[in-house]
Amino acid sequence: MTVVTLHGAHALCSTASPAGGDAGPGQLPKAGPVCGLSCFCSEPMNDLTPLVQDAHADFAQAATPAELENAKARYLGKAGRITEHLKALGALAPDEKKARGALINAAKQQVEAALNARRDAMAQAELQAQLKGQSLDVSLPGRQRGMGSLHPTSRARERIETIFASMGFEVADGPEIETDWYSFTALNNPENHPARSMQDTFYVDVKDANGAWLNLRPHTSPMQIRYAQAHAKKYAGQASMPDIRVIAPGRTYRVDSDATHTPMFHQVEGLWVGENVSFKDLKFMYLDFIQAFFETKDVKLRFRPSYFPFTEPSAEIDIRFETGPLQGRWLEVSGSGQVHPQVIRNMGLDPERHIGFAFGSGIDRLAMLRYGMNDLRPLFEGDLRLLNQFI
Ligand code: PHE
Q: For ligand 1, pick from 310, 339, 361 the residue to mutate: most ligand atoms within 8 Å of CB.
A: 310
Model pTM score: 0.66
Q: Is the CB of 10 under 6 A from ligand 1?
A: no
Q: Which of 182, 187, 221, 338 to mutate to test the pocket of ligand 1 (most atoms within 8 A of CB)?
A: 221
Q: Is the pLDDT of residue 334 over 90?
A: yes
- Which of the four pLDDT bands, split at 50, 70 and 90, describes residue 374? confident
Q: How confident is the model at residue 389 (pLDDT cuts 50, 70, 90)?
A: confident
Cα–Cα distance between 147 and 275 in angstroms, integer? 49
Question: 336 C-alpha vs ligand 1 centroid, how far in Å?
Answer: 6
Distant-in-sequence, close-in-space partners of 57: CB < 8 Å, separation ≥ 6: 14, 15, 16, 17
d(CA 294, CA 310): 29
Query: Do the bridges between strand 170-171 and strand 244-253 make them parallel or antiparallel, or are there none, so unpaired?
Result: parallel
Per DSSP, which regions of the chain are E strands?
A: 170-171, 177-178, 203-207, 213-216, 244-253, 264-274, 299-308, 311-321, 330-339, 355-362
Cα separation, 197 vs 143, in Å, equals 50
Atom of ligand 1 nearest to the CA of 187: 1
| Residue to probe by mutation, ligand 1, list 308, 338, 361, most atoms within 8 Å of CB | 308
111 lines ligand 1 (CB under 6 A): no
Q: 159: how many CB neighbours lie within 10 A of its CB?
A: 19
The answer to whether the beta carbons of residues 298 and 305 sit under 8 Å apart is no
**266 CA → ligand 1 middle, Å:** 12
C-beta 157 within 6 A of ligand 1? no
* 316 Cα to the center of ligand 1, angstroms: 9
Contacts (Cβ under 8 Å, ≥6 apart) of 143: none
For ligand 1, is residue 164 a contact (CB within 6 Å)?
no
- Contact between residue 82 and residue 106 where contact means Cβ atoms under 8 Å apart: no
Task: Answer yes or no: is the C-beta of 227 below 6 A from any ligand 1 atom.
Answer: no
Nearest Cα to 276, choosing from 234, 241, 224?
241
The answer, yes or no, to whether any atom of ligand 1 lies below 6 A from the CB of 221, is: yes
The alpha carbon of 16 and the centre of ligand 1 are apart by a number of angstroms equal to 97
- CB of 311 shorter than 6 A to ligand 1: yes
Predicted confidence (pLDDT) per residue in 254-276, tens digit: 999 988 889 999 999 999 999 99
Domains of the chain with CATH codes: 8-131 (no CATH), 152-390 (3.30.930.10)
- Residues 188-244 have pLDDT tens digits of 998 888 888 888 999 999 999 999 999 999 999 999 999 999 999 999 999 999 999
pLDDT of 33 higher than 90: no
Contact 357, 266 (CB under 8 A): no
8-state DSSP, 263: S
- pLDDT tens digits along 42-81: 567 888 999 999 999 999 999 999 999 999 999 999 999 9
